[in-house]
Chain A
Amino acid sequence: MKYCEDYTPIEMMIISGSREIEDGQVLIVGTQWPIIATLFAKKTHAPNAMICYEGGVVLDSIPDRIPLFTGDPCITSNSVLLNDSLDTLGMILHGGHPDLAFLPAANVDKYGNINTTCFGDYSKPKYRLGGSGGACDFGSLAKRVITMLEHERQRFPERVDFITTPGYLNGGNSRQEAGLRCDTGPHAVITTLGVFRFDNNTREMYLDTYYPKGSIKEIKEGFQWDIKISDNVKVADPPTQEEIRVLREEIDPFGMYLKNNKAKAIPCL
């Protein structure tokens, strides 16, 4: 197995996201980076993963062109179930079936709360974002939530301006006290710098694994609070040459996610 040397931080993030997936799992998948990470997993080590999208889709195969959003028409002719949101967000997600949920985000805070609603005060925002879509449902109901986003300091405030998608709220037991099921919540935050997980007691985010080309110093500078570092912090394996070839040539041959800045449209002001 030959490791690749010429890979980008975005490619490393996508491959790290895919490594969270085991074959045969049921995934509920949000838009942007989660789309490509889950399809890559399906193409490589998790061919039997089932991919569910919020509008009512269960996919068992990889569309012949890469979906640009979770409602892309190329999805419909590759699905084993095509109906409505009460199927996927209702009977599948609320019913407790997904093993993992994948979400994009504008901001993530210390306890894994996600903001995709606005920057600044909700009633007078400095920047109005799109809103929840199904994200709040994913974060409320899924057993293990994985968030994927580019690592920029502005994206990691100590506290988000608006909790669109609940993580561990104020840490500790606060998620359960709010009424959310005890076996649900954030599992990992995967960025262009590393993989972050959550302490089982305090529920605070910590660095679990960083990438071969990065450093802990760079990671610490990427947070607006003092990010904790695991005592057993690991360095990830770089992607193999074959993984990068599959990602570039088979999953995204036109570079819709890998080259095009369109995919980076969720702002971080």
Chain B
Amino acid sequence: MDSKIITIKEAITDLLHDGEVLYLGGFLQHEPYAAVHEIIRQKKKGLTVSKCAGMIALDQLIGAGCVDKVISTYIWNPLPKPAHALRRCIEKGIPHKIEMEEYSILSLTLAYFAGALDLPFVAAKTLLGSDFPQHSSFLGENKMKIIESPFNGEKVCLIPPLKHDLGIIHVQRADSFGNAQTWGIMGDSKYGINSCSKVIICAEEIVSTEVIKRDPNRTIIPGFKVNAVVKEPWGGHPSYISGYYDIDWRHFSFYDKATQTLDGFENYLREWVYGVKDRNEYINKIGKDKLDELRPKSWNSNPVDYGYCSKFQGDYLL
């Protein structure tokens, strides 16, 4: 098998095209900022971005004008503070109007699950009674449907499958073929990334397939579904990667203050996105001392044992 390792610049150039439907993984943690900043630098347009738990990565894409449509459950800065670019966009149409399709976390995760399994729909007892069913935008009547269950007559919400042209997740480690392993709070990531036609894995570390095979329970997507693997240490900053670095509250707080005005937001992009050519320049700009403060104390698990009996037992079956 050939290695799929390329740079994020190559991956975004080759695999993401204007107007496509993009899934971004990362549920409070593991947000793929390295990829998001490259999408902004390449000035991608007209994207539909699907992100279950939207933090400032989605705020940045919206403010940068890359997005026409959003599928999400919430978008905020986890301080907690408002996502200022989202507010400017929805309240004032800056930089341009977008359409939003909103769900709850359970219903959107189930929509990704249905997409990943190619199910016709899933049925659940959420969203009923809320104002979400009557406020659909670009999905129209296909956002969800409320019917009576053919089994017990109760009202249920039918949630359609959501599929994506391209998905990007940031994980702890992957091999060069795209077998990707992650741990920590997983949210929607496994279902989201498995509902994508093309997949980019960004990883803190590239490891050998032998390392993957010593703990295969941690693999969230098999390499055969993956198109590109990008080695991107600190690629999730300012969010966190369990075992690698903690959340950078200083940067979230800085972003909150810096982006309250449109000028401030544009300055932020000029300085932290357009002003650096890649993630390496970004992390140099953050500075080694500040990054060192974010390195966590180690919290190793005891190794698990995947052993089996090597004695041949086929004789008993013959």
Contact = CB atoms under 8 A, between A and B. Distances in A.
A140 B28 CA distance: 23
B221 to A, nearest CB: 13
Contact of B126 (A69, A84, A136, A175): A136
Contacts of A166: 128-130
A118 B132 CA distance: 12
A157 to B, nearest CB: 14
Contacts of B74: 116, 130-133
B185 A136 contact: no
A180 B104 contact: no
B188 interface: yes
A79 to B, nearest CB: 9
A77 B242 CA distance: 10
A16 to B, nearest CB: 22
A94 to B, nearest CB: 7
Contact of A178 (B105, B129, B299): B129
Interface string A100-141: 000000000000000011100011011111111111110111
Contacts of B79: 68, 262, 265
B168 interface: no
Contacts of A237: none
Contacts of A85: 27, 52, 105-106, 109, 186-188
Contacts of A169: 129
A179 B81 contact: no
Contacts of B157: 179
A71 B129 contact: no
Interface stretch (B4-12, B83-91, B269-277, B285-293): B83-91
Interface string A159-179: 000111110010000110011
A206 B233 CA distance: 54
B130 A133 contact: no
B27 A71 contact: yes
A266 interface: yes
Interface centre among A55, A85, A133 (most CB of B within 10 A): A85
A180 B155 CA distance: 8
B127 to A, nearest CB: 6
A84 B190 contact: yes
B104 A266 contact: no
Chain A, interface residues (CB within 8 Å), range? 35 or more
B240 interface: yes
A62 B73 CA distance: 28
Nearest to A74: B246
A86 interface: yes
Q: Describe A's contact surface by its main secondary structure.
A: loop
A94 B130 contact: no
Contact of B146 (A122, A127, A163, A179): A179
Contacts of A126: 91
A69 B102 contact: no
A123 B99 CA distance: 10
A73 B296 contact: yes
B49 interface: no
Interface in B96-129: 102-107, 109-110, 113, 124-129
Given A140-B127, A265-B79, A179 B104 contact: no
A11 interface: no
A94 B126 contact: yes
B185 A125 contact: no
B174 to A, nearest CB: 19
A71 B54 CA distance: 13
Contacts of B75: 130-131
A133 B296 contact: no
B80 A137 contact: no
Contact of A84 (B90, B154, B187): B187
Q: Top 4 nearest A-B pairs by Cβ distance?
A: A71-B28, A179-B155, A131-B74, A166-B129
Interface of B: 27-29, 52-54, 72-76, 78-83, 86-87, 90-91, 102-107, 109-110, 113, 124-132, 135, 146, 154-157, 183-191, 240, 242, 246-247, 249, 296, 299
10 contacts: A68-B79, A76-B185, A84-B186, A85-B186, A116-B74, A132-B103, A132-B130, A140-B104, A262-B79, A265-B80
